Structure 1
Amino acid sequence: MIRVQEEDFQVDELYQRLLKANETGAVVMFVGLVRQFSDLPKAICHFELEHYPGMTERNLQTIVDEAKKRWSLLDVCVVHRVGRLSVDDQIVFVGVSAAHRAEAFQACDFVMDYLKSRAAFWKKESQGSNSHWVQANDQDEMSLERWKK
């Protein structure tokens, strides 16, 4: 399941979707939150996440498909929020179910690394009356290198 949405998500509901009776040996989940990115009060800091509908979902599907090729997975769930988000809001959920924990951990890590650097999202951080578009992060690119082997 892949969803791009403005509304918040319920982690327990997404976890339940990943369970496959008599098959699931492991579920690994990652929930990303909006962190405080300045010294300003939380109420002043937020960001806006934009995407290109259709293209973003296809992009996410490509990442999930690659994970399914690399590991024996039962299911993968990606939910990513867009729109205006504030400090402490949930922004992304990635969940992977598999028969074995090693595959679930690796696949979840892989999906998050590629989502951070290859998914079609654009983020503008706002602090008070100042705002700027966030540029690509060198650390995110370096994280991808380990998956290219």
Structure 2
Amino acid sequence: MGEFSEKVFEAVRRVPRGKVATYGQIARMIGSPRSARYVGYALRSNPEPWANGKGVPCHRVIFKDGSLCGTYAFGGADAQRALLEAEGVAFADEAHVDMGACLWDGRTQEADRTGGRTVPAGAPTAPPADFDWKRELGEEG
């Protein structure tokens, strides 16, 4: 895998259970804000598909409007939805995740517990706690 893909996988591994991130959000986190499509390409070549709580949880990455990927590489949109529902992700309707409730803010779970941020060496850094992803990415509405 290339450096870009490795950065994508590391960022996606940080998306906590019960939350989702957008392709654009992951692209911004790794320093390539105009590469959302390439995030999808990288995830399609995921060498460690999610299984038994291990691997890269690429099912947690969705489109900015909350819709699932119709060609989800590991079983289609129905499989992606089943994985997300099993993790407690709420859906606004049949085709869209409830982004207000489930969009990840970029902070780690450990940071939420401790009130601080600890990030492994070499991992992408998260934005400040008050960073507004929706406004920054033009995803309001």
TM-score (structure 2 length as normaliser): 0.26
Larger Rg: 1
Give the structure with the higher percent strand: 1
Give the structure with the higher percent helix: 2
Q: Which has the higher contact order (CA 8 A, sep 6+)?
A: 1
